[in-house]
Structure 1
Amino acid sequence: MKRAILTAIALVAVPFVALADDDDNKAEAGMGLAGILSKSNREALPELTLSAGQPVAKGALTLKSGKYYTLEIKADGSQELALEGAGFFRAVWVNEIVIEGIEIRPLGVDSIEFDEAGEAEISFIAIKPGSYHLKVPGSTGDTQQVSITIE
């Protein structure tokens, strides 16, 4: 009878030992209990600029799936400009968009438009590998878009 009870206790304890091992592995990988939302998994991307006749970005962006990013977009007000990229926004999980201290937690995004000078910061986790673009709607020039690759 004692042997059956000890066996039952051992079987119940096995999943908890496995969970403890998982926590140790996360710590070794540099992530805390928050996992992919941990500070150690965050990276700030180069700023995007919206200005009449000026390039949107200095170059293409390469992201890693599962990494948390922040992207700052600044508009100088020289023209009403937007960035669209439904494909990109469907390939990431948007945590929040911050505009003038106001935090927005959207279920989906298609574009962001600036009618005047201002800035917005988007924080997101890259999910779906592939090639995407954020571009000024109606533009055809390569400088009016930023290419984004998620690996």
Structure 2
Amino acid sequence: MIRFIAKVSLQLLQCMYLTVVLLLCFSLIITSPVLAANYSGDLLKQTPTEVTVSLGNAANELKFEPNHLEFVAGKRYTLRLVNPSAQKHYFTAKDFADNIWTQKVEAGKVEVKGAIHELELKPGAEAEWVFVALKPGKYSLRCPIPGHAEAGMTGDIAINSGQ
């Protein structure tokens, strides 16, 4: 009889443990998407701060103007990229791109969504990169066309803490 009671008690404890674990998992499954949806919805309601960067200039100087960019984590931005020079340039900042959430990149009548790591702008081209800065840190920017970075077409991007 004592064995029977001990066995039933153990099974009852196991069922209670399993129930608690399932309830915790279920509550995480239910609340996480809701919180994420609320968070992203709030972000998309933010009016983006516009920042313009020139890739080169009309004098064909190989530089980003400005070459130091600062963003705040949790804020939405429109990065307007323009290429007024007579040659193509790249805006390459992979580590930066890995630490933001890209809403879209718009160029002409084309809108691109998803992960973006590099943009090529042909002479006279313009593009808008709409994103939310996520992870604070310092990231490098460069144009990987041979000779461009060496001539000074480099920069840095900082994402500062939103606190």
- 1:57–1:145 contact (8 Å) kept in structure 2: no
User: Radius of gyration: which is bigger?
Assistant: 2
Instruction: Go from structure 1 to structure 2 and tell me whether the alpha carbon gap of 1:114 and 1:59 turns closer, same or farther (over 3 Å shift).
Output: closer
Whether 2:80 is the aligned partner of 1:65: answer no
Match of 2:118 in 1: 111
Residue in 1 aligned with 2:53?
Answer: 48
Gaps of 5+ in 2: 1-39
Whole-angstrom CA distance in 2 between matches of 1:103 and 1:130: 28
C-alpha distance after superposition, 1:20-69 (max 9, x if no partner): xxxxxxxxxxxxx93122235x2112x11122314312352221111000
2:153 to 127, 135, 144: 144
> Is the CA contact 1:96–1:103 (under 8 Å) kept in the aligned structure 2?
yes
**Contact 1:57–1:146 under 8 Å retained in 2:** no
Distance 2:137 2:154 in 1: 16
Q: How far 1:77 moved relative to its partner?
A: 4.4
AA matched with 2:110: I
TM-score (norm 1): 0.68
Cα distance in 2, alignment partners of residues 148 and 133 from structure 1: 6
8 Å Cα contact 2:99-2:134 kept in structure 1: yes
Q: How does 1:128-143 map to 2 (within 5 A)?
A: 128-137=135-144, 138=146, 139-141=149-151, 143=152
| 2:97 match: secondary structure | helix
* Alignment RMSD (CA, Å): 2.1
What residue number does 1:76 align with?
84
Per the normalisation by structure 2, the TM-score is 0.63
For 2:107 and 2:67, locate their aligned partners in 1 and report how far apart those are by CA, in whole Å.
Answer: 24
1:122-150 CA-to-partner distances (Å, cap 9, x unmatched) read 00000011001221114135x51231111
CA distance in 1, matches of 2:43, 2:120: 29
Query: Where in structure 1 do 4 or more consecutive aligned residues deviate above 3 Å?
Result: none
| Distance in structure 2 (CA, Å) of the matches to 1:73 and 1:34 | 26
Aligned 8 A contact 2:88 2:123 in 1: yes
Is the Cα contact below 8 Å between 1:77 and 1:118 reproduced in 2? no
Correspondence for 1:37:
44
Letter of the 2:130 counterpart: S
Distance 2:96 2:63 in 1: 19
Check whether the contact 1:96–1:124 (CA below 8 A) recurs between aligned residues. yes
